Structure 1
């Protein structure tokens, strides 16, 4: 008989089911076309991308090149005009809106450029929200959220609402919220853009730890050459196409 005292927590179970090198994200022929008046504007044109568990991939490119559109497609926030996205072996095309929402909560963490924190909630409540949506008791969810807030240097500000926090502090809360569910894949849009050098270094160290110990995959959109160069691979998005870049060519 197994001893329940030594059973892994749900967080541990998720990490145990992932192994470095396992394919975590695949997209094939990913295309997004927008209609603008009488014209069709192709923003993404037949992209192919594979990211393994434990791998960190930066995507660089000029403003307006479609980087945020790509993140939205990878996270199931938008639907492609053509092509397919698979995360943890599941095709997002097969999921209706309700199932897609549940899947995102289980597998995907988002760090948006503009935080999207709920103004009426404290930092710890915002960070705990994905777990509460999942059905965890508030006290348990907030305990998990506090551990992440400690790691991003925000434990002392846990009871403050977003209006009482600086831009950099709000960004750190958003990062904690993205990581609190132990996601398979984290999508980040300029995650360190509002952070000072010391704090940014701490966030990078946390990402390194999660990639190494929990086999979490990261896709990071950035204009920052130093942030891009810190990742395992750098891809450039240009004229709707992705191409792998040498480390010396990360400037956007």
Structure 2
């Protein structure tokens, strides 16, 4: 199983990196069934950036959780880098996520007792990378997101925007195949947000990393290759908003 997953990391630009087929999630609430996702279909190619927009409560966070293997669908399948998440047991799924998926949550979820550097390096250390090597890579990413000078500070000593930048560095430190982002620039000033977008552009172009970004920000959506709207459990293609000059 590991060999198959590792081969998926070399997916060529333009090949499918993420595939959802008949993706359905139904929650049982008392006597009623609530269908949040209803036979959803989605393909995201290597090096492609897709924004997903939709009203609050439309199921965007549920979708991200399914794409990242944090929840299981009621029906249907998610494949990443050619690997079906349903085919993986808990241990193998955790290993696969560490190797292939980066997460940027709306709330940073940094560990309070660790420094920014330690938080950013943690996915590599969990993988078994030597601490010195992991922290060297983490420093590179912290520098890219403008946090090099704050690397030795703990989350409680950082602003909300600074914590979000550390979380973005942590998501990218493993060179993932797919990055899932929930309002990644919501706490960032315009200049920092622009630098994050530039970094995403570079990764999509040079490493064939794919991005799925949930956002309410028309400017962020306009910057992506495609915009999809989630409504009544299904996705539909949308025209890209006009970027604000």
Shorter-chain TM-score bucket reads: over 0.9
Does residue 138 (structure 1) correspond to residue 131 (structure 2)? The answer is yes
For residue 248 of structure 1, report the CA deviation from its aligned partner: 3.7
CA–CA separation in structure 2 for the residues paired with 1:16 and 1:219: 17
Question: Alignment partner of 1:247: what SS?
Answer: coil
Q: Is the 8 A contact 2:8 2:83 kept in 1?
A: no
Mapping for residues 1-252 of structure 1, pairs under 5 Å: 17-248=10-241
Residue 17 of structure 1 deviates from its aligned partner by 2.1
How big is the alpha-carbon RMSD for the aligned residues of Structure 1 and Structure 2?
1.6
The structure-2 alpha-carbon separation of the partners of 1:92 and 1:42, relative to structure 1 and needing over 3 Å to count, comes to same
- Please, what TM-score do these two structures have when normalized by structure 2? 0.95
Matched position secondary structure for 1:79:
coil
Using structure 1 for the length normalisation, give the TM-score: 0.92
* Structure-2 separation of matches of 1:16 and 1:45: 29
- Where do 4+ consecutive residues of structure 1 move more than 3 Å? 13-16
Q: How far does residue 20 in structure 1 lie from its aligned partner after superposition?
A: 1.0
Q: Secondary structure at the match of 1:17?
A: coil
Matches of 1:190 and 1:15, distance apart in 2: 27
For 1:34 and 1:17, locate their aligned partners in 2 and report how far apart those are by CA, in whole Å: 36
- SS of the residue corresponding to residue 20 of structure 1 reads coil
Rounded to whole Å, the distance in 2 between the matches of 1:108 and 1:92 is 12
* Alpha-carbon offset, residue 18 of structure 1: 3.1
